[in-house]
Chain A
């Protein structure tokens, strides 16, 4: 079945460590996105990529980095520069950029100890 796979589902990190969240899709979608969800807030866009080897900052990109070396993969690195990294992270994809229907992964919950 086609879909988006995020891993790990739960992750614990010590302060000062970088951590990478994986996002893989087999839907053949060009566009991929990373969102952050905090309690009581709407989803906020971290980074997005409309095509391989290209990505753009979203509303809250500081302290995060991404790469898009393959169409299927869009990993997110939460760096030690991110001041409040504990959150729920969601990866999504769509056929036609922001104009298309969104498909989401199951999410990754990061906790900084």
Chain B
């Protein structure tokens, strides 16, 4: 079974800082998801990617398949970015199911 490790577990930063959250996994995958969980508990899908890089507004997600590593970047961070960011991977080889990381708790202070 794939192991998914996220770092850091907790991150506090000042408004405007550039944020990087990392995700590493142990076996080959066919896709990786980045999710955002709001303080109330609801989850929003940010990105689904299998190679390269995707950008949406101030958010950028990259993946290196060879290194088994993905990063989520937030530029010009804002207090409303405060949330838990979760990485999830879908295995290759036609297997079902996602393996989720434990999440990174991000707090952006004004």
Q: Which residues, 88 to 113 on A, are CB-close (under 8 Å) to B?
A: 88, 90, 92, 97-99, 101-107, 109
In the complex, what distance in Å separates the CA atom of A72 from the CA atom of B91? 27
Instruction: Say whether B42 contacts A97, CB under 8 Å.
Output: no
Q: What's the interface size class on B, roughly? A: 20 to 34
Q: Does B78 contact A (CB under 8 A)?
A: no
Instruction: Say whether B45 contacts A101, CB under 8 Å.
Output: yes
In the complex, what distance in Å separates the CA atom of A58 from the CA atom of B30? 19
Instruction: Say whether B4 contacts A42, CB under 8 Å.
Output: yes
Binding site for B on A (CB under 8 A): 40-45, 48, 56, 58-59, 88, 90, 92, 97-99, 101-107, 109
Instruction: Say whether B97 contacts A58, CB under 8 Å.
Output: yes
Instruction: Say whether B96 contacts A42, CB under 8 Å.
Output: no
Among the listed stretches B14-22, B33-41, B61-69, which one makes contact with chain A, having 4 or more residues with CB under 8 Å of it? B33-41
| Chain B residues within 8 Å of A103, by CB | 45
Instruction: Say whether A104 contacts B100, CB under 8 Å.
Output: no
Instruction: Say whether A107 contacts B90, CB under 8 Å.
Output: no
B-side interface mostly? strand
Q: Does B48 contact A (CB under 8 A)?
A: yes
In the complex, what distance in Å separates the CA atom of A43 from the CA atom of B86? 9
Q: Does B27 contact A (CB under 8 A)?
A: no
Closest 9 CB pairs of A and B: A42-B100, A104-B43, A107-B41, A106-B42, A43-B100, A42-B102, A101-B48, A98-B96, A101-B45
| Chain A residues within 8 Å of B97, by CB | 45, 58-59, 98
| Chain B residues within 8 Å of A97, by CB | 96
